[in-house]
């Protein structure tokens, strides 16, 4: 099974990224490459579903910060969907909680990035 899966939103400026494991070590490297490809491509909006991601390492955090910075330059943003306790605690401890929009509500996440929803049903994992 993939650690990270990427699916386009209804327009080509947004993407849903689902994470299925801790973003540490090799998984973090894979995630960082994906994020770089997205933001150096055309992604303006990234909804990052971290419901199944209990933790992040420094490489994953750096990738998130890069994504947020580049998306913001394009008048977009990164939205963390379903952040877990571990992710919330780490971002809080690092003083990064205010750098990201976070929500546990899928409809709100997609509304925040200007979309009514993903091109796929999120309940089908």
Report yes or no on whether pTM surpasses 0.85. yes
- Structural domains of the chain ordered from first start: 4-112 (3.30.750.24)
- Residue 46 · residue 67 · CB < 8 Å: yes
Q: What parts of the chain have a pLDDT lower than 70? A: 1, 11-12, 115-125
Handedness of CA 5, 28, 21, 105 (dihedral sign): negative
Query: Which pLDDT tens digit goes with each residue over 36-67?
Result: 999 999 889 999 999 999 999 999 999 999 99
pLDDT for 81: 96
pLDDT for 9: 83
pLDDT for 57: 96
pLDDT for 89: 94
């Amino acid at each position: 099974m993939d650690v990270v899966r990427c699916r386009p939103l209804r327009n080509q400026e947004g993407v849903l990224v689902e994470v299925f494991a801790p973003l540490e070590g090799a998984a973090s490297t894979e995630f960082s490459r994906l994020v770089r490809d997205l933001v150096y491509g055309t992604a303006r909006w990234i909804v990052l579903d971290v419901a199944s991601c209990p933790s992040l390492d420094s490489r994953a955090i750096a990738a998130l910060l890069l994504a947020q910075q580049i998306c913001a330059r394009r008048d977009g943003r990164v939205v963390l969907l379903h952040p877990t306790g571990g992710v919330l605690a780490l971002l809080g401890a690092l003083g990064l909680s205010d750098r990201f929009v976070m929500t546990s509500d899928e409809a709100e996440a997609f509304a925040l990035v200007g979309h009514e929803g993903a091109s796929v049903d999120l309940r089908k994992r």
